[in-house]
Amino acid sequence: METTQASNLKELVKEKYGQIADQSKTENESSCCGVGGCATIDYTIMADDYTKLEGYVADADLGLGCGLPTEHAVIKPGDTVVDLGSGAGNDCFVARSLTGDTGKVIGVDFTERMIEKARENAKKLGYANVEFRQGDIENLPLAGGIADVVVSNCVLNLVPNKTQAFAETFRILKPGGHFSMSDIVLVGNLPEELRKSAEMYAGCVSGAIQKEEYLSIIRKAGFKNILIQKEKRINLPDEVLSQYLSPAELAQFKTGETGIFSITVFAEKPEACCAPGCCGN
């Protein structure tokens, strides 16, 4: 049963991302993962550049990601791809350029306005094999075993029950299918006040968990061949860090292992058990 805290978080996400849907990419990049105003610092620290990828659609890019999972997702022509937290459709349209006319792309998002905007973009493009469904990542509106590939960009950190989200990802993947997801994780223990400030500075940090815990959840969901395809440190500005760290602590923090990171993770769902003697039979 869902807790009140989890329910409240989901409603907050729905409200905030409903507002974000009608903002421009520039506005979202200048408001800390799109979730609030934060003085005059350069906020493009999270998002990677999609503009050189085939299938890129500027109207669908709200600047909310923290990686390029679709670029690393090994999508083939004819694949069925599911994008968790599809927003205005950015990763879906890049994925569609890889699946081609013979594939299918399904975007799932929690926010009604995002779904509306994504459908508007798909209609403009005339894509018959890209669809968008409103739904909860913890309870996906999809049948089991339908996806060859699942992608997601800076969304799972916002989901209260990550264990359930990865269980759902496992359920909808075909045996032998795989995912590639970009997300925000923590390494080491950030000073409490610094973490609070980081959450205000970049809303994507607020639901982030330790990197090893994140990878452990993936393993426990049943995935194999887990690989970090890309990792980058999220560099908070000195003017934020210096409020909580001495000059010596600041230098150590910037060169040490502790910090906030964007990781892109690949993992596979095991093949179905069908060979003689398989699974102990």
Domain boundaries, the chain: 4-270
Considering only CA atoms, which of 199, 218, 100, 103 is closest in space to residue 152?
A: 218
d(CA 252, CA 175): 45
> Which has the minimum average pLDDT: 99-108, 177-186, 241-250?
241-250
User: Which residues, 6+ apart, have CB-to-CB distance to 278 below 8 Å?
Assistant: none
Least confident of 11-15, 55-59, 158-162, 222-226: 11-15
pLDDT, position 204: 61
- Distance, in Å, from the CA atom of 180 to the CA atom of 267, rounded to the nearest integer, reads 7
Which of the pair, 103 or 61, is modelled with greater confidence?
Answer: 103
Residue 202: pLDDT above 60?
Answer: no
pLDDT at residue 225, rounded to an integer? 98
Indicate whether this model's pTM tops 0.85.
no
Query: Is residue 256 scored above 60 in pLDDT?
Result: yes
21-35, 104-118, 149-163, range with the lowest pLDDT:
21-35
Pairing of strands 104-109, 173-187: unpaired
Q: Which two tokens stand for residue 128?
A: 């018959």
Q: Supply the pLDDT for residue 38.
A: 41
Q: With 90 as the cut, is the pLDDT of residue 137 above it?
A: yes
With beta carbons less than 8 A apart as the criterion, state whether 266 and 173 touch: no
Strands (E), the chain: 80-84, 104-109, 130-134, 147-153, 173-187, 224-233, 259-268
Cα distance between residue 281 and residue 135, in whole Å: 38
Residue 23 above 70 pLDDT?
Answer: no
What average pLDDT score do residues 17-36 get? 47
Task: With a cut of 90, say whether residue 14 has pLDDT above it.
Answer: no
**Confidence band (pLDDT; 50, 70, 90) for 134?**
very high
Q: Is the pLDDT of residue 45 over 70?
A: no
pLDDT above 80 (res 217) = yes
Q: What CATH code is assigned to 4-270?
A: 3.40.50.150
Mean pLDDT of 66-84: 96
Better-scored residue on pLDDT, 114 or 146: 146
Model confidence at 119: pLDDT above 90 = yes
